[in-house]
Chains A and B, each alone.
Chain A
């Protein structure tokens, strides 16, 4: 296989967090070193480190342009071959191309793959294509043109565009961004503030991280446009401290934006001053709640307050404040540049545009995906995600972060939008999608999330602090085989009190993982309580594994891997698990290629 002979080749190395963890920086360095001016290679090359391509499962990813080749799982030791064959001669290296596990077919470009074909990128439009540390790259793909356009518009026009686009906050609550900006613009109190909420704290979520790392200028441009529309002079980007690369790239981007005159005095020749400061969060999940975040910037304890008066009226230091999530900001330049109608044509009646999801869990293609609102869960999990790992059964998908709900297989055709998810007892949240297979115990899942929330509740209000603690107490005892009759009713009653009386959205939504699993998996709870049995084989005290002699062909894999030598049997003969020795780690059931290990 050979592509055309090009005189110039651009090599894009994914340096998103997932790929970096798998050694993409070594790949990038090796390419840089071997393709320097002294390398004597006839082809002119340009090596770039980009943000997250989203296809983390296959990383480190290297894309070669204009051939449009995507190499997967590239190691530094592959670099010499890549240069010799592909860069110099346009020859494809078959083993580095993606191989579809079902059809066994290899694909030259990521554009040909289902994972990307069904996606529609707006917020992630530049990520993976540009070098986030280069303002030149951002400018070359239309960066700051939306600001240029906005500078020529009346403030009211900008507000109308955002309102008509139907954009709703991507941080979780889904409030109309246009209404928020309008409300703040109407306030006579000054100064006004613009805040970017980058305190992404959901376990398994990395949407905002990828945007801040991979395309920081789009967030900055969105914020400047807002400042122009509402009359703000100062902005803050609140980033969780663990996001070192995001902070580094944002700092660089802010410095570049200042030197290019997009921030500071007389922006784009207009009598308009605006600048942005980065605030590093202290690592509290609750500081993603906007009023707690504001308290944190002010230097106070990160506790939310009742939002009967919105931050648009009384926000940071009591002044009118617009606070939006990273992904929301990333949509703004596109709406201004391409028009509200264009944006509103994507999505459903009430949820416009696209949504970025971090697709993780027991799914083939884990990674970052952006799809139009209204795409069904089935399309995301099966068409884009490639289905469930190891041929197991899909059981549930948890949407919306730790306080989202678990949606069962019956609802796989649910369109993903704000209203549908809420009706199903879950929520959009900031866009986490955790796929679970039949090896997942739904009671344990609920316990896990409540445990997370018990530590991350700010502890200010009684229902959230005491309620979560008590719901966790009940779930823990159910998982340990100490569940009592009436426990489900008590969980439901406490859940209702939390939803009604908690101060902020953390407490109001904290019962979701419990109530949704009781709603859809009540039998599993009852098996724990009444039969002292964990049907998924996860809760150790309630689990007993056995090998089905009909299905076992004696391959010996389980016996070899068992950490306590609890499995015995001759080669090619059915094996047996000793209940006395077994510690219920689940290694055998997770790895049996013939699904012969069963739960009693």
Chain B
């Protein structure tokens, strides 16, 4: 089906969100809580766009609005710009030491104001870490509390049995809010300390024992599978292919 985005006719798949359609068509809409692996959440509201349907205008979140009929979308009106600027300002005031928010604050030409700043906060509650943890299958962290007290935590802020120390949460975090400390062969994250395993080939410390076991179990690995870091695993695979090709010739 065809819809109109910023005056241009764009092909859209029935049921796709406005955001997905825009990304395919190379139309930029800013997001903070969206990741293509998980789909739209509607949390950060940075992707608000103006929708016109049967002559009626309204503002919707592009990441959760499914296209099911002929609509006209505008991605950058003065009101949208103002709304985005205010959202960035609010997040900057929450996490002023986040480099990402500092960059966005400048980019969106936000005006500073008299609101207080919290120098210790970095988390913007985009929930991507929780989604990553869920997707991996650990479910070790979650959003807790509500309102202004809402935050991400392991159950009761204690070391969680479910956490394998994989660090996916820290990796996906857009504001570097999740502390993952490595000292010697130890990694500490979410109040839990893990022993790091060395790559059997290059000797680099690359994962935790718990994560290796978790992944091995999930992938039905055999005991003979070697513990290899990401780059050595690629090399090993490449060598296997080469050996196979050589045998064929």
Contacts and interface: CB of A to CB of B under 8 A. Distances in A.
Nearest to A493: B86
Interface string A271-313: 0000000000000101000000000000001110110110000
Given A466-B90, A470-B115, A503-B42, A286 B66 contact: no
A474 B116 CA distance: 10
B125 A465 contact: yes
Interface in A228-250: none
25 contacts: A306-B60, A308-B66, A309-B66, A453-B147, A455-B147, A457-B147, A458-B147, A458-B150, A461-B42, A462-B45, A462-B46, A462-B90, A462-B91, A462-B125, A463-B86, A465-B148, A466-B94, A467-B90, A468-B147, A470-B115, A473-B116, A474-B115, A497-B82, A500-B79, A500-B83
B149 interface: yes
Nearest to B145: A459
A310 B113 CA distance: 39
A499 to B, nearest CB: 9
A463 B113 CA distance: 17
A484 interface: yes
Interface in B41-68: 42-46, 48, 59-61, 64-66
B221 to A, nearest CB: 33
Contact of B87 (A303, A457, A473, A497): A497
Given A458-B150, A465-B125, A470-B115, 12 more contacts: A284-B146, A286-B146, A301-B142, A305-B64, A309-B66, A457-B147, A459-B145, A459-B146, A460-B150, A462-B44, A490-B114, A501-B59
B45 A459 contact: no
Contact of A466 (B46, B48, B91): B91
Interface in B167-225: none
Given A308-B64, A461-B43, A503-B61, A466 B93 contact: yes
Interface in A490-508: 490, 493-494, 497, 500-503
Given A467-B90, A494-B86, A500-B79, A459 B59 contact: no
Nearest to B51: A308
A91 interface: no
How many B residues touch the partner, as a band? 35 or more
Contacts of B159: none
Contact of A501 (B83, B143, B148, B149): B83
B4 to A, nearest CB: 18
10 A-B pairs with the lowest CB-CB distances in the bound complex, closest first = A459-B150, A466-B90, A306-B64, A497-B86, A501-B45, A457-B147, A306-B42, A455-B147, A469-B148, A308-B65
Interface string A112-147: 000000000000000000000000000000000000
A500 to B, nearest CB: 5
Given A309-B66, A460-B43, A490-B113, A500 B148 contact: no
A474 B145 CA distance: 24
Interface in B85-142: 86-87, 90-91, 93-94, 113-116, 124-125, 142
A456 interface: yes
Contacts of A494: 86, 90
A184 interface: no
B147 A301 contact: no
A301 B83 contact: no
A461 B44 contact: yes
Contact of B59 (A468, A473, A500): A500
Contacts of B48: 500-501
A98 B132 CA distance: 65
Interface of B: 42-46, 48, 59-61, 64-66, 79, 82-83, 86-87, 90-91, 93-94, 113-116, 124-125, 142-143, 145-150
B19 to A, nearest CB: 12
B184 to A, nearest CB: 38
Interface residues of A, number: 39
A72 B125 CA distance: 54
B66 A463 contact: no
A98 to B, nearest CB: 43
Contacts of B83: 497, 500-501
A585 to B, nearest CB: 29
Interface of A: 284, 286, 301-303, 305-306, 308-309, 453-463, 465-470, 473-474, 484, 486-487, 490, 493-494, 497, 500-503
Nearest to B40: A306
B60 to A, nearest CB: 7
A474 B90 CA distance: 13
A120 B38 CA distance: 52
B87 A465 contact: no
Contact of B148 (A305, A459, A462, A493): A459
A284 B149 CA distance: 13
Interface-central residue, A454, A459, A467, by most chain B CB under 10 Å: A459
A493 to B, nearest CB: 7
A486 B116 CA distance: 15
Contacts of A493: 86
Nearest to A470: B115
A303 to B, nearest CB: 8
B90 A473 contact: no
Given A305-B64, A462-B91, A466-B91, A454 B147 contact: yes
Contacts of B116: 473
B150 A463 contact: no
Contacts of B146: 284, 286, 302, 455-459
Nearest to B79: A500
Given A459-B125, A459-B145, A459-B148, A501 B87 contact: yes
Nearest to A497: B86
Contact of B43 (A453, A454, A462, A470): A462
B51 to A, nearest CB: 9
Contacts of A453: 147
Nearest to A453: B147
Contacts of A306: 42, 60-61, 64-65
A487 B86 CA distance: 15
A453 B60 CA distance: 23
A565 to B, nearest CB: 39
Contact of A503 (B45, B46, B147, B150): B45
Given A306-B64, A308-B65, A465 B86 contact: no
Contacts of A460: 42-43, 150
Contacts of B91: 462, 466
Nearest to B113: A490
A462 B87 contact: yes
Contacts of A503: 42-43, 45, 61
Contacts of A457: 146-148
B25 to A, nearest CB: 20
B28 to A, nearest CB: 18
A286 B146 CA distance: 9
Contacts of B59: 500-501
B243 to A, nearest CB: 49
Contacts of A463: 45, 86-87, 90
Contacts of A486: 113-114
Contacts of A490: 113-115
Contacts of B93: 466, 470
Contacts of B82: 497
A502 B147 contact: no
Nearest to A463: B45
Nearest to B68: A309
Given A470-B90, A500-B83, A465 B114 contact: no
